[in-house]
Structure 1
Amino acid sequence: MVTHSKFDSAMSSSLLDSSMRLPHRYKTFTSKTQYQMVLATLHKLQESGFYWGPITGKEANAMLAVENIGTFLIRDSSDNRHLFALSVKTASGTKNLRIQCDSSSFYLQTDPKNIQSVPHFDCVLKLVHYYMPQSKGNTRSGNMCHIYCGGEKIPLELIKPFSCSLSTLQHLCRKAVNGHSDILSKKEKLPIPLKEFLQEYDAPI
């Protein structure tokens, strides 16, 4: 089995510049495919405006304390065995969920006792969008997902990202286009530079 150190590979890779480093984690990559998936996800997270990087769960709790229910952010996991975490304000306060990562996908295990398969995604942004309310272009059914924590069953509602930076007008337009499937269906007719710009960030959030 080929393994890649998250830290060493990121430092030596020509794909990364000084502003795009993977968090230092002790878990290794199981394949080049997984490594590339994480790099692509990290790039999109840094474009998203709600990826806060290496803040702690305690800091996330403090920032979300006065926000409305459903406000969320993505940050680096405080657990060295994981890469990313989702912090979300719920009716029972802020909850911090580890985003699991296997060889080819990301997923949330909101109920440790659940033996059924959970949805898997090749990007954290797709995972976040899945758990947001039904919207145009979102094929998720209306079933509510719940977090099971300390004996509580808490609805998982991702409504509004908590921004850490201002988005450019170009990026806001790109997100708007990504949220309209009728426009995306005509993407092949767009000029190549515009198609590439849309492909760099293909999420509506």
Structure 2
Amino acid sequence: MTLRSAETSDSPSTIQNGSGESGSSPPGGFKEGRDREDRIAQSMGELRRSGWYWGNMTVDEAKEKLQDAPEGTFLVRDSSHTDYLLTISVKTSAGPTNLRIEYREGKFRLDSVVCVRSRLKQFDSVVHLIEYYVLLSKNKKIESETLPNRTVHLWLVKPLYTSTPSLQHLCRMTVNKCTNKIDELPLPMRLKEYITEYRYHV
């Protein structure tokens, strides 16, 4: 995965409203608006359980956190641009940079220029989006040099946690890496519910 013209700020490249959609009222009225709010709330709940969502953080604060981190270290924070919910801050070969997450028509995807936007994968949740790009980067060799035209390799390798993850959370991720048939495991129902609250590997 590459990022063209990597920025050191969270400055906008496209203008959209807070839901990631242009225009005023969405078709379908109140019910569709409520469904959208529910999807965002569910996704934010998963994101908070991840341990690498930093909430309200400025561009400079994110840069300071990532400055001495290994290349590929990333975090997710609230976007400082009012038209977007979230931003990925990641350490690249050119230093810390930022990439916004767009929400459109019930799906999350990376913000991009119009000419490539339709080719980007879309996801039901932010954590699913992050997990996809982490797995995509897992077996890639991170290049140390900056590519022509200020294009840099953008690998999401390791999250920067807000604090040391609990043993329970680490065990939950390990179980999810081993099986997706949680209901068939010989475990108490309460433990199964805890595992299925966060069904990701990162």
Taking structure 1 as the reference length, the TM-score comes to 0.73
Query: Residue 93 of structure 2 aligns with which residue?
Result: 91
Q: Return 5+ residue gaps in structure 1 as ranges.
A: 1-25
The one-letter amino acid of 1:58's match is D
Change beyond 3 A, Cα 1:70–1:151: same
The one-letter amino acid of 2:89's match is S
Query: Residue 194 of structure 1 aligns with which residue?
Result: 191
Task: Give the counterpart of 1:152 among 150, 153, 156.
Answer: 150
Structure-2 separation of matches of 1:112 and 1:74: 23
- Deviation string for 1:51-82 (max 9, x for gaps)? 10000111101110101100000000001111
Change beyond 3 A, Cα 1:28–1:93: closer
Query: Residue 161 of structure 2 aligns with which residue?
Result: 163
Structure-1 separation of matches of 2:152 and 2:113: 11
Q: Return 5+ residue gaps in structure 2 as ranges.
A: 1-16, 21-25, 27-32
Question: Over aligned residue pairs, what C-alpha RMSD do you find?
Answer: 2.6
Higher percent of residues as helix: 2
Instruction: Give the % identical residues.
Output: 34
Change beyond 3 A, Cα 1:87–1:172: same
Where does 1:71-86 land on structure 2 (aligned, <5 Å)?
Answer: 71-86=73-88
Structure-2 separation of matches of 1:110 and 1:150: 19
Structure-1 separation of matches of 2:135 and 2:154: 10
Q: CA deviation at 1:193?
A: 2.0
Give the total of aligned pairs: 168
Taking structure 2 as the reference length, the TM-score comes to 0.74
Greater RCO (CA < 8 Å, at least 6 residues apart): 2
Change beyond 3 A, Cα 1:121–1:201: same
Task: Give the counterpart of 1:45 among 22, 44, 47.
Answer: 47
Q: CA deviation at 1:117?
A: 2.1
